[in-house]
Amino acid sequence: MADTEQKPEETPAAEEPKKTIEDKPVENGDEKAVETVADGETPKTEEEGAKEEPKAEENAVENHENGDEGDAEGGEGEAEEETPPPSLEAPTENPFTDEDVQQLLDLESGEEGWDKVKEKKGAVIYKKSEKNSVPLIKGVLEYTGIPTEKVLEFYTDFEVRKKWNKKTVIIDVLEERDDFQIIHSVFKMPTGCDNRDAVQCHMVKSEEDGSRHVLLYKSCNHPNKPPKKSSPLRADVQLMGAVIRPKEGEEGVTTVTFFTQTNLKGWMPKAIVNKIIVGFPVALYDDLTLYWKKITEPPKSPEKKEKKNKEKAAEENGEAAAGEEGDKKEEEKKDGEEEAKEADVTTEKKEEGGEAASTEAAAEGTPVGEGESGKLDTKDIPDADDEEAK
């Protein structure tokens, strides 16, 4: 009897379903929150939950990475959350490995997955979608007429780079090590958006024959440049680098294959984000090409410079010069008319003087019919019969 009375207490049927609700780990090791189900509600199956999770994750990424376009319409808002600092603290030893170099070389030669998004003379830009939703950008830039050694200098001498790279407004070397540097860069953003910055380790690995130079960057922290909550906002540079080499088969052409995968953080419309990340390598080509032309153009001779200044002044004062020329012609015309009048008066006076002289000569000169001897020349006197006949 004792055994039969205790059985209902040992296994209550009502509490059995509660034991089936457990915490389930996901693939990356994180655990989901315990799901509570209201009375009378049917729990969601694993398939239904799996369908909803990607959509929620996609929306979260869109809002966090680029900002909702409606919310960001009036400009850029504050960052949704602070950028987690890189795990690499200001290193004292070179943090780069051969694997980092090989990664860039593989990206340079690889063609699969790249979509061409922009093309212009000297620059072709490609884009590859990544699992973390931050696209990878590759810019293939061809500098015609600039030696490879000079291109390397322009990219790695940061004092020189400040003179031509308009998109990077500040580049400071925080630490100089034997074989690498720690640098702080500030990237210029469009009007209405906060500038971005980054702290990175940087080094150059070159082949001995100068056939290839690999520029490596890796984000890190540094006590002299901690992230700010205001401008400039700390960007999350997940990958950056470049491969510089002479273009095979074309003398005098240097190819730079530039890579960047950067999360700009903060609130920003997606269209502006795309314009910035695609436009950055294009600006590297345009800015350096213009700078090279500026410093290599031969100086103008003083004569050519003076001639050009005169032409410019004449062009600016064209109307005034034309007016002066018209006035001069008008004065010449008036002078000509006055001279013509004076000439007519002189001619009239001469004619009047000639007539008077003729009259005087006729009055005082030789009589009609009188010859040179002063005698009357009868042959000049008409006969009477001829006169009557007339």
Confidence of residue 48 (pLDDT cuts 50, 70, 90): low
The mean pLDDT value for 218-232 works out to 93
- What value does the mean pLDDT take over residues 362-366? 49
Sign of CA dihedral 84, 88, 90, 94: negative
Give the pLDDT score at 235. 95
Predicted pLDDT at 333: 75
Assign 334 a pLDDT band (cuts: 50, 70, 90). Answer: confident
Name the amino acid, one letter, at 291: Y
pLDDT value for 29: 40
Residue 149 pLDDT exceeds 90: yes
Six-digit token pair at 372? 């040179």
Q: How far is CA 126 from the centre of its chain?
A: 18
Position 246 scores a pLDDT of 97
At 369 the pLDDT is 47
Cβ–Cβ < 8 Å for 258, 281? yes
Mean pLDDT (the chain) is 76
Q: Calculate what percentage of the chain has a pLDDT beyond 90.
A: 48
Residue 275 confidence class, pLDDT cut points 50, 70, 90: very high
One-letter identity of residue 52: E
pLDDT band at 221, cuts 50/70/90? Answer: very high
Span of 4-8, 101-105, 146-150, 274-278 with lowest mean pLDDT: 4-8
Tell me what pLDDT residue 182 has: 97
pLDDT reported for residue 155: 97
pLDDT-derived band at 317 (thresholds 50, 70, 90) equals confident
In this prediction, residue 166 carries a pLDDT of 93
pLDDT in tens, 55-65: 444 444 344 44
pLDDT at 385 over 90: no
Q: How confident is the model at residue 356 (pLDDT cuts 50, 70, 90)?
A: low
Task: Tell me how many degrees the CA angle 373-378-381 measures, rounded to the nearest 5.
Answer: 125
**Of 224, 240, 235, 168, which Cα lies nearest the Cα of 196?**
235
Lowest mean pLDDT among 2-6, 214-218, 316-320: 2-6
Res. 358 pLDDT band, cuts 50 70 90: low
**Helix axis angle, 302-316 relative to 318-364, nearest 10°?**
80
Which of the four pLDDT bands, split at 50, 70 and 90, describes residue 355?
A: low
Q: What pLDDT does residue 364 have?
A: 52
pLDDT above 70 coverage of the chain, percent = 63
Mean pLDDT of the region 30-48: 45
71 pLDDT tier (thresholds 50, 70, 90): very low
Q: Each residue of 224-250: b (16+ CB within 10 Å) or e?
A: ebebeeeebbbbbbebbbbbbbbeeee
pLDDT at position 282 over 90: yes
Residue 201 has pLDDT above 80, yes or no: yes
pLDDT at site 199 = 97
Distance from the Cα of residue 108 to its chain's centroid: 24
What pLDDT is recorded for position 133? 84
The yes-or-no verdict on residue 171 having pLDDT over 70 is yes
Question: Given a cut of 90, is residue 8 above it in pLDDT?
Answer: no
| pLDDT tens digits along 76-134 | 443 444 556 577 888 999 999 999 999 999 999 999 999 999 999 999 999 999 887 89
Structure tokens at 153: 């200098």
Has residue 28 got a pLDDT over 70? no
What is the per-residue pLDDT for 56?
Answer: 44
Packed helices 270-296 and 148-156: angle between N→C axes, nearest 10 degrees: 120
